[in-house]
Amino acid sequence: MKLNVAKSRALPIGIDLGSSSVRVAQLRRSGEKVELMAVAQVETPAEAAAGGMSTDQIAQDLRALLRSRGFVGRQCILSLPASQVFVRHVRIPRQSVSDLGAAVQAELADKLPFDLGQAIIRPVVAGELLADKDTLEVIAFAASRKAVEAQLDLADRCKLEPVGVDVAACAILECFSRLFRRSEDSQHTNMFLDLGQVNTQVVIAHGTKMVFARNLPQGSSDLSKAAAALLKVEPAQVESLRRKLLSAEESPAYAHDLYAAMGGALEGLVLEISKCVHYYDSLFPSQQVERALFLGGQARDRRLCQSIAQKLNVPSSVGDPLARMDRSDLTQTDLGADRRQAQPAWAVAVGLGLGSEITDAA
């Protein structure tokens, strides 16, 4: 009697370089299933977060985690920190699609915050304009070569072999559209809101197709600074109180005053997100955003997510990239949170690994 045993294949390690922490995840292909092998995270030193550059301490901590948490192999794929990625929608003539890179580069010539000659650009075609079928809307992701080389240097110091560098927006879409998408979702319009400490990323997709992306320079730290100014305390105290609220079984008396003090800054963030939705509506007026999915480390703050969702008036939920994966052996130390709760912070790290798997299998 012949037994068919599915072979397990480890995928490259996904490394999400966030502003406040670095999250690492590895998946494996087992027959038709994709399973989570290992996760780990390390806090980012304040000086590294401010400058967006990797440090010896991050490399040292990552090496230790990779050795002790069950990671396999040396291949990895990294994401660039959001603060180092320039995102812009541009429009090009349809006939230029055969040389898309050059056409997009020409459109960005005087718009990048760094030298065009040192730019690495990834274009994503969103679709044709409703009013002009001969013009294409293209999302351009650009980063400086120096920023990319810094991440490759981090991988080298961790004794890893990088097989790619991606942006968080693309990794998020890989995570949800490639692994968790149901067939009936293919026609739905979802907005992904990745709430970070210093940036908020907005991604809108028609099923698996990205049609809008923007990187907003507002994040959770801006909310804490605004609250601290009104309450006449240090921002670090506000951050500490907000962390305590995440694990509080009941809402303490100070919670109302704390979030009320964030009100002005929160209104500003919602206004910027609303501008994104309005721009998207101008491109696809017949396909309104049907649902918002909150992601990122700050999405664990359900009260914050609820406030944003109410102001946007869009049905919303907190995304969980690990919801359909076997994670029974993962501890709270591994995930940085209660494993029984949604894990919105892990979308990018998981998506990086999935993206490399899809590419490899194509």
Give the pLDDT band (50/70/90) at residue 246: confident
Do 328 and 358 have their domain in common?
yes
Do 216 and 199 have their domain in common?
yes
Look up residue 110 and give its two tokens.
């005087």
Task: Count how many domains the chain has.
Answer: 2
Summarised one tens digit per residue, pLDDT across range 143-169 is 999 999 988 998 998 899 999 999 999
Q: What is the mean pLDDT of the chain?
A: 85
pLDDT value for 121 = 95
Please report where in the chains the tokens 């320039």 appear, as a residue.
Answer: 86
pLDDT value for 187 = 72
Please give the share of the chain, as a percent, with pLDDT higher than 90. Answer: 55
Summarised one tens digit per residue, pLDDT across range 309-355 is 999 999 999 998 887 676 545 555 555 555 567 889 999 999 998 87
Of the residues 303, 319, 335, the one at which a domain ends = 319
Domain holding 351, by residue range, is 1-84+142-180+321-362
Contacts of 358 (CB under 8 A, 6+ apart): 174, 178
pLDDT value for 50 = 46
Please give the share of the chain, as a percent, with pLDDT higher than 70. Answer: 85
Give the pLDDT band (50/70/90) at residue 31: confident
Summarised one tens digit per residue, pLDDT across range 165-222 is 999 999 999 988 765 555 555 578 999 999 998 999 999 999 889 999 999 999 999 9
Reply yes or no on whether the pLDDT at 358 is more than 50.
no
Number of helices (H), then strands (E), belonging to the chain: the values are 12, 14
Do 310 and 338 have their domain in common?
no
Q: Is residue 122 part of a domain?
A: no
pLDDT value for 120 = 94
Give the pLDDT band (50/70/90) at residue 42: confident
Q: Coil, strand, or helix at residue 197? A: coil
Look up residue 344 and give its two tokens.
């919105």
- Of residues 138 and 355, more confidently modeled: 138
pLDDT value for 217 = 94
The angle formed by the CA atoms of residues 341, 312 and 19, to the nearest 5 degrees, is 55
- Which CATH number goes with the domain that contains 344? 3.30.420.40
Summarised one tens digit per residue, pLDDT across range 270-310 is 999 999 999 999 999 999 999 999 999 899 898 899 999 99
Do 38 and 166 have their domain in common?
yes
Measure CA of the first residue to CA of the last residue in the chain; give whole Å: 33
Residues 250-256: contacts with CB under 8 Å, at least 24 apart: 251/303, 255/303
Cβ 92 vs Cβ 138: under 8 Å:
yes
Q: Is residue 20 part of a domain?
A: yes
Do 57 and 194 have their domain in common?
no
Q: Coil, strand, or helix at residue 288? A: coil
Do 172 and 219 have their domain in common?
no
Do 344 and 296 have their domain in common?
no
